[in-house]
Amino acid sequence: MTAWASHQEDVPQSALAEPVRRVTGLWITGLVLVNVGINAAFFGPIQVLIGQQAQAFDANNKEGILALVTGAGAAVALVANPLFGAFSDRTWSRFGRRRPWVLIGALLATVALVALAGAPNVAAATALWCFVQLGANGAYAAITAAIPDRSPVEQRGSVGGLAAMGQTVGVLLGAVIAAVVSGNFALGYVVCGAALILGVVLYVTSAADDPLPRSAIEPFSMGRFLAGFWVNPRRYPDFAWAWITRFLVNLGNHMVTLYLLFFLGDAVHLKETQGIDPATGVLILTGLYAVFVIITSVVGGKLSDRMGKRKPLVIGSSVIIAVASLTIGFFPVWPGAIIGACILGVGFGTYLAVDTALNTQVLPTARDRGKDLGVINIANSLPQVIAPTIAFPFVAFWGGYISLYVAAAVIGLLGAVFVTRIRSVA
């Protein structure tokens, strides 16, 4: 059993109630900033810094090192997200269930990022990136569970859209940090850590987080605790289909973005043709992508709330993402990359907002929101493990980047097919 601060007697069980009051602008701002910080800590390293560090370790084997480090970290994320979600479900504290874990996760990830700046070899870098993933995913599990804890169903598209906007701003911030430090990946890691800590301050110090009464927590049983991570797809088929949809769309997206730094250098020949450093190219594409994600995530989330429908927008956005993959693959030139990044932003922004709302509506119970959303978030992390394994043979042996991006498009489109199997959400 997890305990934070003193036991609170006679606390109303509002923590387990279905929320009916709309969340405030201050709460949403805190939520957005946490997502900004977490994603800066994730994607600054993933997009550029780890690749640069891999080149410093061994330029001839940079692709394999990048795949090893990011894949190992993502494997840790598979466990961390549902595990910390389950811990937060069982946390009783005057600070609530989610806030303590947002803070703990952010602190752990920041310390690991600072240490990663001085990693002496590939083994140390891999281990430290795993700790970054452990902490950042712990914070992400808690902040994601806060959405169904606090916001009513009719507001979740809008809240999900703003959270997606925060995620995208974080991705952009990570790319900006990587570009500004101009190849000094050690400084980049430290700045990413600072962004994460600053991002959680408002939420941790001001956000409402209903305390869970100790009486609402069942006596701890290791067997029951571990068994709880299995959500029976026969009993909860919509939960299963939502998981599969998220997994496929994210797998396709990670296959597109994983080797973007190397794609710009080795396929687009950006330095030779445009005089632009590939890291700067990543920043430019990420900026364009971010602009469209920010617009479409907010608009798409609000639209889905007004429509009262989620699935049509998930299907449409999956198709748009596939078009972006094909554009980048068949036009491996700088204008093609720019157009593809813009299309990807339109599709993925809408997808992030609407899929977040959809997933909160297929959760089996209020008591296990953190754990169940953690299980769903495995569909975010597992593609990071699998994408390097799938993408590397395409790049190295099976036709290069064109075949990689075609495969990514096909996989993403399957997500549009399977979302139609969800019955409880329109």
For 359-384, the pLDDT digits (tens) are: 989 998 878 888 999 899 888 778 87
d(CA 151, CA 250): 25
Query: Helix, strand or coil for residue 251?
Result: helix
pLDDT of residue 8 exceeding 60, the answer is no
Residue 14's pLDDT band, with cuts at 50, 70 and 90, is low
pLDDT score of 292: 92
pLDDT band at 12 (very low <50, low <70, confident <90, very high): very low
3-state secondary structure of 29: helix
The per-residue pLDDT for range 312-324, each reduced to its tens digit, is 999 999 999 999 9
Domain ranges of the chain: 22-208+232-421
| pLDDT at site 1 | 37
Nearest CA-CA partner of 76 in 387, 380, 381? 381
Structure confidence at residue 15 as a pLDDT band (50, 70, 90)? low
What's the gap between Cα 209 and its chain centre? 22
More confident residue, 5 or 158: 158
pLDDT greater than 90 at residue 27: yes
Percent of the chain with pLDDT over 90: 51
**Angle, CA 62 vertex, CA 60 and CA 67 arms, to 5°:** 140
For 83-112, write each residue's pLDDT tens digit. 999 998 888 887 888 999 999 999 999 999
Written as one string, the DSSP assignment of 237-280 is HHHHHHHHHHHHHHHHHHHHHTTHHHHHHHTS-HHHHH---HHH
At position 290, the amino acid (one-letter code) is: A
What is the phi/psi pair of residue 14, to 5°? -70, -20
Instruction: Let me know: does 86 contact 369? Beta carbons within 8 Å.
Output: no
Per-residue pLDDT band at 215 (split at 50, 70, 90)? low
pLDDT band per the 50, 70, 90 thresholds, residue 13: very low
Pick from 78, 34, 333, 90: which is nearest to 207 by CA? 34
pLDDT surpassing 90 at residue 210? no
CA distance 204 to 86: 19
With a cut of 50, say whether residue 54 has pLDDT above it: yes
Between 63-72, 204-213, 293-302, 316-325, the lowest mean confidence (pLDDT) is in 204-213
Q: Rounded to 5 degrees, what are φ and ψ at 107?
A: -65, -45
pTM over cut 0.85: no
The pLDDT score that the predictor gives to residue 222 is 82
> Would you say residue 16 has pLDDT above 80?
no
Dihedral sign for Cα 297, 165, 422, 19, please: negative
Is the pLDDT reported for residue 422 higher than 50?
Answer: yes
Cα–Cα dist 128/95, whole Å: 29
Q: What is the mean pLDDT of the chain?
A: 88
The predicted model gives 160-168 an average pLDDT of 89
Q: What CATH number matches the domain at 22-208+232-421, 3.40.462.20, 3.40.190.80, 1.20.1250.20, 3.40.50.300?
A: 1.20.1250.20
